[in-house]
Amino acid sequence: MNVAVVGATGLVGTKMLQVLEERQFPVSTLIPVASERSAGKSIVFRGKSYPVVQLEEAVRLRPDVALFSAGGSTSKEWAPRFAEAGTIVIDNSSAWRMDPDKKLVVPEVNAAVLTSADRIIANPNCSTIQMVVALKPLHDRYRIKRIVVSTYQSVTGTGVKAVDQLMQERKGEHGEKAYPYPIDLNLLPHIDVFLDNGYTKEEMKMVLETKKIMGDDSIRVTATTVRVPVIGGHSESVNVEFERDFDLAEVRKILAMAPGIVVTDNPAKLEYPMPLLAHDRDEVFVGRLRRDESQPNSLNMWIVSDNLRKGAATNAVQIAEYLLAKGMLGQEKKQDAFSA
């Protein structure tokens, strides 16, 4: 596979390169793509140096697949151009997620919706990904009626500028700020912009994306998203109401058997998911499983995952792996060659 990584020098792009290498994705030629600021730079991948190119050049090279992590405006402009050149685009921005003609995919949940006709595939929001991975097997068994989620999201979700702000504040230094307030020794109940309904855009992403990924508009979702001074992953407190009653032992068994999930739930030994333990891991960690004693058929759970990996880079690479396994990657180019 000829693979382009658009935004290769950013936090998520760097992680995509790491995940491609770790998972031994069959990359014959890497095409690292970045803005003009990165002109002249090179990327080392599997011991080989590749020059960073700009978008126009990358389109001309017609990669089999392009992993995008360069922001919504870039994706809106350039993803269609890659697609027209025969490239399958897997986009990590919010640009295409709610487009009715584009698939929004978490492989453990809904990979089966993909077809060879899909040229632009959306990667969901990081906090949505980890939640639906944990909830889908329970939805299949008990049917979800309502989800109440509060998130505790790492500064890495904002980017390098936010990480720098946290580290500078921790050292007592002053520098460029990613947030309107200090983040060290603080938390901000404000991720992305506020909307007219009083929710933030991040909160509404979780509401709308969950329904689309799960394929069920009847699920009611409400969210509060919070930025915390953490590096390593996002955490979520989730209260879920089911149509049917459940047995906690069965819940644990269902989760333990589900792909991509690690159950860490032993209060007697103080074992529960934490960002520190999820850092640089691909799994979704689930714990603090307990019945909501105030509401029938309701479960409380705590979900943690590395937002740069499963919440972004790993999920994108897993989509590419699925397409490859199903023979959907490179099909247009093969057809072109056959026609010629």
Residue type, 294: S
Q: How many CB atoms lie within 10 A of CB 334?
A: 12
Q: What is the pLDDT of residues 58-86, one digit of tens each?
A: 999 999 999 999 999 999 999 999 999 99
Q: Report d(CA 120, CA 82) in Å as an integer.
A: 9
Pair type for strands 234-242 and 144-153? antiparallel
Q: Which residues of the chain have pLDDT under 50?
A: 334, 337-340
Residue of 139, 190, 234, 279 with catalytic role: 234
Q: Report d(CA 268, CA 290) in Å as an integer.
A: 14
What is the predicted pLDDT for the residue at 12? 96
279 assigned to active site: no
174 assigned to active site: no
The residue behind tokens 């089966």 is 112
The CATH number, out of the four listed (3.40.50.920, 3.30.360.10, 3.30.300.30, 3.40.50.450), of the domain defined by the range 127-307: 3.30.360.10
What is the predicted pLDDT for the residue at 334? 47
Domain locations in the chain as residue ranges = 2-95+313-339, 127-307
The CATH number, out of the four listed (3.40.50.720, 1.10.10.10, 3.40.140.10, 3.50.50.60), of the domain defined by the range 2-95+313-339: 3.40.50.720
What is the predicted pLDDT for the residue at 333? 55
The candidate with the shortest Cα–Cα distance to 30, out of 47, 12, 5, 7, is: 5
Q: How many CB atoms lie within 10 A of CB 244?
A: 9
Q: What is the pLDDT of residues 14-49, one digit of tens each?
A: 999 999 999 999 999 999 999 888 878 999 999 999
| Helix, strand, or coil (residue 138) | helix
What is the predicted pLDDT for the residue at 337? 39
pTM exceeds 0.85:
yes
